[in-house]
Structure 1
Amino acid sequence: MLGGEPQDVLIEGSTIAAVGHGLPDEGAEVVEAGGKVLLPGLVDLHTHLREPGREDSETVLTGTRAAAAGGYTAVFAMANTFPVADTAGVVEQVWRLGREHGYCDVQPIGAVTVGLEGRKLAELGAMHESAAGVTVFSDDGKCVDDAVIMRRALEYVKAFDGVVAQHAQEPRLTEGAQMNEGVVSAELGLGGWPAVAEESIIARDVLLAEHVGSRVHICHLSTAGSVEIVRWAKSRGIRVTAEVTPHHLLLTDELVRTYNPVYKVNPPLRTERDVLALREALADGTIDIVATDHAPHPHEDKDCEWAAAAMGMVGLETALSVVQETMVDTGLLDWADVADRMSFAPARIGQATGHGRPVSAGEPANLTLVDTAYRGPVDPAGFASRSRNTPYEGRELPGRVTHTWLRGKATLVDGKLT
């Protein structure tokens, strides 16, 4: 159990019936979990499932299977599909596909603007009132760079305590950008993506959120400067939350020297200084959550020259291992903190009903069991995701999810999907 002595957990139906010592097991299926850590089911606020439109990369089925394999019981699906999830009809389609497949709950994220084009607000109210009950809106993949549109979106979602999740990237400062702007980009001759392109948008948006009194969430925060802006905003009581990806906690722009497109991602891998600042911010709560930004791509979109390659990495099946490597095994977080950053807080931000709940009697049995003593190489051939674009192939990482339960039903048993 988290931060305490070993205890038994009894599941009856979809609910945790009891937690304690020496619970009766007559007639029960027993899972021996000695030495392992039991977490509340993980929640990912930033997943790309690609369906509808790019089923060659991922589908709701394959993506949710990957989620279950990684210990997730709920994921929030980004809106940059084809067609874009900017209407009640499309978000309901994604929501129903998630319910049909049953490996984890799927909560669609609605687009902020029609077609992600940044010119006209999408049907925010209709998406919220639909069966999908959308509460998070994002044009992720593109920045809502028009300040007037961003203000209107913040004003609109305030009525139902929704949140706008911003992909912070000033487009005019990143035209032709291929990697982080710095020493490495200069040496390689690749177009630079400057830190200020992220930081300037975050600074603007936290001020807009303060003015409106609404909630803004910063997607995949990646620079030390961004950390300081969010820290300042929180000190003023501004309703801002932020996420960091596993890859930004571990990898740096030095890897781009290989010209391997698996390291091409948006926002780009930054410097060691940025990585250390992100870890510190996640530890002290300035950054609220870890989100995967799981971005699957087919082989042909990554196995090409750097400039032509798509941006993004898969992350659902390795996220917990990277967090253990960078945050737990370094002493920056304990497992109770991990439960907060990867379950409680993302569920709270996204209003994921039934998820992010403590492991206690009467709560939904959404659970993840982790063998924290395991260490081994990452083999993408065994991934449940349809895509294999992981930056960790062959790299040894700690921890392995052995079991996942969604409302008491096992979706992963002994590391194998049911």
Structure 2
Amino acid sequence: MTTYPFTMFGITEARPGARWQALFDATWPAYRRFHLSEGRDARPTRAEAEAALQTHMPELHETWEQLVALTGDDDDAAVFLTQWNLPAFAPAACSQVVALDPAPALARNYDYAPGLFEQTSLSTDYRRPVLGTGDCLWGLLDGMNDAGLVVSLTFGGDRAHGEGFGIPLVLRYLLETCTDVEEAGRVLARLPIAMTYNVTLLDATGASVTAHVGPDRPAEIRPVSCATNHRWTEPVDPAHAARYRSVERLDLLGGLQEEGADADAMVAALLEAPLYTRDYAHGFGTVFTADYRPAEGTLTYRWPGIVWERRFDSPDATVDVILGDADTWSTMPNLDAPDPAATPDRPGATAAAEPVAELPADWADRSSADLAALVRAGIDELARRGSGEGFALLTGLSGHVGLALGESARRIAEQGSWAQVAALSGTTKQAAWARWH
């Protein structure tokens, strides 16, 4: 199994400043290569790009000027930051769904190549408080504002590419300027967008729609509250839809809604196959699951064994994640609690699953150090055997250890404090709380 480790950065900075400049310095070389991948002549001039921003999204112009100043007034960066007529993005295959019980919520899986993920969660106050997953330095893949408006994007299944803005900045614009679904729908309908997407919107009242948008076409907005990677029920590109199981994923989400699944059940489904995928090598692995609860003002990122919550006022923090490829999901151990009803023919099954052994009677009297030594010896023996079964079991154990760390940290905090957890783990109190609370 190939692994894809990364650190995700939670950045809270009301106005563009030192934190954003550090992000720019770290990522601009890669973004610059993408921006100029077709040659500078293929990109608009700075004047053309700025004029497009002022014409269609004038409310963002002042912030754009501040960002450009932090780049050292770099012309290429100035054009890139307008997101006007960028090169075509590699399409992501994602799933997103709205649930209304017990309160309005939007959850989504972002399925993409890990190496193309910016790894940022941004909390800003450019025009109003906005919290979401960063892309293209100030755009968003999904997000929420202080009015309770939530937006999320998926690729729309049509590879058409034309004149318009990159969708990450469009999502930023919706959240900076709109308060509800009706208003956001009107804005989407007037904006030129360079590629095809499904954008699902939810507001604090529980109203939700999905907009199918793209270049040289009017936005289609319907009272649909889930989306994958094709237009409504009929894929424009059947081969693409089949490759990424877009119709099957949408049918599953729709079925869950018809059954009345609540928000927690929707999130649980997103963390299991077939919605959760691990084909990272081919750009179709779940990089993160985002869980938006506007009434609570929370954005919770989830991975098997990891829960990381962000709020509008959360301090800067990080979370370490290790993703892993698999040829098929069924060969991977279930990293969450075992499903006793699972069979090898349905998601959630694992051929490597074993009954949980009872703790030997004499272990209860052993010291913690002795227990750790015994566990370590067992792990080492599984590794030495070099068998597929042992490898699969080790993979499952790694997820179980992550869950156990969280339980242990919470018990210590309940009996003592998060400062004690931080001291034991060699991190800050805020980081310990964000990772394990």
Same fold at TM > 0.5:
no
Q: TM-score, normalised by structure 2?
A: 0.28
Q: Which has the larger radius of gyration?
A: 2
Larger proportion of helix? 2
